[in-house]
Copies of this chain bind each other. A is one copy, B any other.
Amino acid sequence: MASKRDIVGVPIRRADAVEKVTGRAQFGTDLRVPGMVYAKLLRSPLAHARINSIDTSAAASLPGVLRVAVGRDVTGCRPYFGPAFPDQPILAIDEVLFEGEPVAAVVATDEDIARRALELIDVDYDPLPALDMDMALRPDAPLLHAKANAAGHFKDLSDIGGQERSSNVCHESVTKWGDVAAGFAEADRIFEHTFTFPAVAHVSLEPYVTIAHWDGPRLEVWSSTQHAHPVRAELAEIFGLSLQQVRVVVPYIGGAYGAKCYTKYEPLASYLAREVGLPVRLMEDPFHTLTRHAASITIKSGVKLDGTITARESDVNLDTGAYSDIGPRVANKTSYRTIGPYRIPNVLSRARAIFTNHVPAGAFRGYGAPQGQWAVESHMDLIAEDLGLDPLEFRMKNLVGLGERWNPTDTPIDGDFRQGLGRVAERFGWPMQRSGIAVGVKDGGGRHTIAQATVRVHNDGTATVQADAVEMGQGIRTVLAQIAAEELGLPFTSVHVTLPDTDAIPWDQGVSASRGTTVVGKAVWEAAHACRQRLEGEGGLDPAAKGQEALSDTVRRIFGMPGGEVVGHGVVKPGSFGPGATTYWEAGYGAAQVSVDEQTGVIRLDRYITGADIGLAINPDTAEGQDEGAALMGIGHSLFEELVYQDGQLLNGNLIEYRVPTFSDVPETFESILIENEDGPGPFGCKGVGESGIVPVAPAIANAVARACGVRLFDLPLTPERVWRALAARKGAPAPSETPTKGRI
């Protein structure tokens, strides 16, 4: 079957390669709309405070300033936004809940004037104590969102249990099956460990860019969003419009990683544009917009002496920051993703998102899995070590098998995890000294998801694909073109994939959760297949015929003249991938070898092999790029990335003090292995590969560190200071109390 493919499985050069390397590609930052004016935001210097008054008069009278707005001005629309509970004010109303929260906006004829006007705004604050997770969970803690609930701006109070909140828990999720008490009773040994994971920043190359424009009653927004249609839907809600009155257009995005999921600055830009009657451009700071949830994870397992796991319980607190964003859903996923891909008959896993006075946390590559599996996979090594089992063997024994049900009610496992881990271990040369392995599995593709696409075969035999091809660097335009070209029987270059525009492409949930290739791709395949069916049926095209000329002749035959095009529509909706909620299982494997400098605590990552169970790589080059990129991102939060807060103040929220991996952090040996069994539910048996690579990195490295120098680390990142302290403690030296570390050491 594979031999019959011409386009799929081939490492074709990206469709956007030339335009990107030549600088021609239009990103959000490049967009200019005639008559456009510029907005800038005044952000709170305090993490928690009441706003007594805001004097905007001096700013408003600066020449070139068109409008100064504060939260109380935001009327004629719902002044809150948020994908789960709309609890985040478009501009702060009477209080601020995190440092950097937008308090006022200036619209001016140029950015410099807007910036100068910000300095003329005088805000009188009453400071309040800034809560971190520990403080927020105390019974006597002030409630950050009691008032917001009372204001009744939640979509549905049943989302939070039908009543106002009585704690700072934004949302709690519980996953359970079997009977953990019975499971622990069966066990020979019980292990319990607690781990922490830091807040980290997405750091995409491009900031958030939104241009909003009111074409009369119609709202048009150009935005660097991963979620064109959901953003359209929320803008419609906020401004009381219908869906057909809102248009969202997405240019190329310079990286997103989840930060650009759902609505962010679109409501504010739209509000300002409405007020000034001109297109407004807003380009904003990512550090004070969204982070990954910091987490504290306690995991407990009952194990028999032969290594059989009888029960697992986990408990996770996630710092969801000042507003919900998509934190509730991250909590849901984290409870599901802090169990591990193992055959465990009795499970109880809890995760809760906690409101704090930190920057809101939300979607980020892996979506709870890096945090949960940092704990699970460290814990697995600790158990193996204690039981005297090889970490690989212990995992192999317990890994859930192909076709088995891991969760008794979810989709059967569609990957051969033992084969995948075995391939990586073999390539790595397991067992080796100073080495660690880990597995990372998440339910991929989004649950209960809808994707739609249109494919048009023109009368010259070439084709256009209209799908939710948000191109944020992941290569989706290339992969969708390959899928359509293969199914249509066309060369790759005969297919054009348009960029998303809600006026032109049908509804689709968006590009997140590793759903692009598998789910959007399936909608595209369905659409292309519908075209091909019509070409072969109505048009009499030979099923073996390929190429532009054959398709062109057929289209012209169908229409009886030159002109016309064959249009196919593809739909993926709940049930399209079978009855289970999980679309597919996205599995990754990591093997690391480290050297630890015992004098300084510096970890050098000598080798890293990442493996991804991809089903089939539609484009092996871009798939490897995704897998390697994910692993390299994981190296960041494993070794040095951390957003450091002190009394609610983000100490390193900038690219000088916050370090992300560079090419100098790439291990000397760094390989990606793609496991291709064509067992995915996507086109040609594919699965997604955008996230799995990030999941096992931290535990693989920490497991390697433990085997290299005998110290077990429970807190990320694995900074030299932490390693040195752990080494010192092991040697019996007095360990001075830990001081906050910054990301860059």
Contact = CB atoms under 8 A, between A and B. Distances in A.
A548 B242 contact: yes
A229 B218 CA distance: 26
Contacts of A456: 506-507
A452 B567 contact: yes
A24 interface: yes
A464 interface: yes
Interface residues of A, number: 55
Interface stretch (A43-51, A268-276, A493-501, A721-729): A493-501
Contacts of A494: 242, 244
A236 B503 contact: no
Contact of A504 (B495, B504, B571): B504
Interface stretch (A338-346, A433-441, A555-563): A555-563
A458 interface: yes
A503 B464 contact: yes
How many copies make up the complex? 2
A574 B559 contact: yes
A72 interface: no
A215 B19 contact: yes
A352 B215 CA distance: 48
A221 to B, nearest CB: 15
A678 interface: no
Given A501-B504, A504-B503, A560 B454 contact: no
B32 A567 contact: no
Interface in A433-469: 448, 450, 452, 454, 456, 458-464, 466
A109 interface: no
A312 interface: no
A161 interface: no
A565 B507 contact: yes
Given A242-B460, A456-B506, A501-B504, A564 B569 contact: no
Contacts of A233: 459-460, 562-563
Contact of A559 (B32, B243, B450, B561): B450
A460 B502 CA distance: 14
Nearest to A214: B24
A162 interface: no
A37 to B, nearest CB: 15
A642 B682 CA distance: 65
A565 B244 contact: no
A740 interface: no
A34 interface: yes
A452 to B, nearest CB: 7
Interface string A14-29: 0000110010100000
A573 interface: yes
Contact of A454 (B24, B464, B567): B567
A464 B24 CA distance: 31
A496 B507 CA distance: 15
A575 interface: yes
Given A464-B503, A496-B244, A567 B564 contact: no
A549 to B, nearest CB: 12
Contacts of A677: none
A19 B561 CA distance: 38
B242 A563 contact: no
A460 B243 contact: yes
Contacts of A216: 18-19, 22, 24
A392 B558 CA distance: 46
A357 to B, nearest CB: 32
Contacts of A466: 503-504
Contacts of A565: 452, 506-507
A244 B458 contact: yes
A509 interface: yes
A688 to B, nearest CB: 19
A562 to B, nearest CB: 8
A503 B496 CA distance: 9
A218 to B, nearest CB: 8
A564 B496 contact: no
A209 to B, nearest CB: 14
Nearest to A548: B242
A245 interface: yes
Contact of A458 (B18, B218, B243, B574): B243
A229 B24 contact: no
Interface of A: 18-19, 22, 24, 32, 34, 215-216, 218, 229-230, 233, 236, 242-245, 448, 450, 452, 454, 456, 458-464, 466, 494-496, 498, 501, 503-504, 506-507, 509, 548, 558-565, 567, 569, 571, 573-575
Given A32-B34, A501-B504, 6 more contacts: A218-B496, A233-B459, A242-B458, A450-B563, A506-B565, A564-B573
Listed from nearest, the 10 A-B pairs whose CB atoms lie closest are A504-B504, A244-B496, A243-B458, A242-B462, A244-B462, A32-B34, A507-B565, A450-B564, A560-B574, A243-B460
